[in-house]
Amino acid sequence: MASLYERLGGQEAIQQVVDVFYKRILADETVAHFFDNTDMEKQRRHQAMFISFATGGPNQYSGQSMEKAHQGMNIQHDQFMAIVNHLVASLKEFNVGEEDIQELVAKLAPMEPSIVGQ
């Protein structure tokens, strides 16, 4: 059976989803401010590498730990869920199936304690 990474279409497809994902986030005033001082090109690259790794693709992710990357941001559960929902909507825009979306969300959900309240 193909990995989730392969079912999503590999690195190029993941990069396209990430681009839509950040357009959605930056249009959402409840979470956009977290990226006010962020190099978005670098952020998109890191996110695409992270999602690729999390879905069974090549491990090119060399970013900070989740705790370190979100330190001082004081992200709350509702904001975390808004970001997850933007990712789900972005995946649906590319016709990713519900099972694959749920598999990805299941891989990301355990990271919430490393992100929320840091």
Catalogue all structural domains in the chain, each as residue range(s) with its CATH number: 10-115 (1.10.490.10)
Q: Is 46 annotated as a binding residue?
A: yes
* pLDDT confidence of residue 93: 96
* pLDDT confidence of residue 34: 95
Q: Mean of the pLDDT values across residues 12-38? A: 96
Q: Mean of the pLDDT values across residues 79-93? A: 96
Cβ atoms of 29 and 86 closer than 8 Å: no
Q: 44-65, pLDDT tens digit by residue?
A: 998 998 899 889 998 776 777 8
**115 closest CA partner among 48, 77, 67, 62:** 67
Q: Is 70 annotated as a binding residue?
A: yes
Query: What percentage of residues in the chain have a pLDDT greater than 90?
Result: 78
The H-assigned helical ranges of the chain are: 4-8, 10-26, 40-54, 66-69, 77-93, 98-108, 112-115
Angle between helices 40-54 and 10-26 (to 10 degrees): 130
Q: Mean of the pLDDT values across residues 74-102? A: 96
Across 30-47, b (16+ Cβ under 10 Å) vs e yields ebeebeeeeeeeeebebb
**22 closest CA partner among 1, 2, 47, 3:** 47
Higher-confidence residue of 16 and 69: namely 16
- Supply the DSSP symbol for 113: H
* pLDDT confidence of residue 118: 85
- Supply the DSSP symbol for 116: B
**Stated pTM of the model:** 0.91
